[in-house]
Amino acid sequence: MNDRAYNVLFLCTGNSARSILAEAIMNHLGQGRFRAFSAGSFPAGQVNPYTLKLLDLQGISTEGLRSKSWDEFAAPDSPLLDFVFTVCDKAANEVCPLWPGQPMSAHWGVEDPAAVAGDDAQKMLAFRKALRELENRIKIFMSLPIRSLDKIKLQSKLDEIGQTVLERNA
């Protein structure tokens, strides 16, 4: 059996909030089984400060996090991807590059916390909600017996995870 880590790419439009949160969470929880990356179709060029603040508060490393284009992962010398997940509606409807190795993909849409208006507390609440949704989905994904599922069953599970909704009081 191949014991290499699974490479997972999280995509969003701006690559400043949701996809960065997902990358950081998966790398934090992945225990060497998963290596996460993130990118955007139109990267913002910087990570949202609320993203960095929340990750710091959660004790999750922010080292190396940066807003970048998905073109970096379509290059010949980029990591071979096993999974690609879109985490915002805009990225799900865009034409994605062809990924070498034909990774499995699914849409795991999460509301954009960066679009929330209000004071610091309201904005941080939106970022916490996005983090909880992503963390919940990532934990479900990481618990799957990936190697023992056939591709059709695995694709079904990936799609189901995208439909997972947190309980309101969770």
Reply yes or no on whether 141 is catalytic: no
Catalytic pick among 17, 25, 54, 88: 88
Catalytic pick among 8, 9, 12, 161: 12
Reduced to 3 states (helix: H, G, I; strand: E, B; else coil), residue 2 is: coil
DSSP alpha helix (H) spans, the chain = 18-29, 49-57, 89-92, 120-143, 151-162
Catalytic pick among 29, 96, 142, 144: 96
Reply yes or no on whether 13 is catalytic: no
Reply yes or no on whether 136 is catalytic: no
What's the rounded Cα separation, in Å, for the pair 44 and 20? Answer: 12
Q: CB neighbours of 38 closer than 8 A, spacing ≥ 6? A: 9, 10, 11, 12, 15, 19, 20, 22, 23, 68
Please identify every residue annotated as catalytic: 12, 88, 96
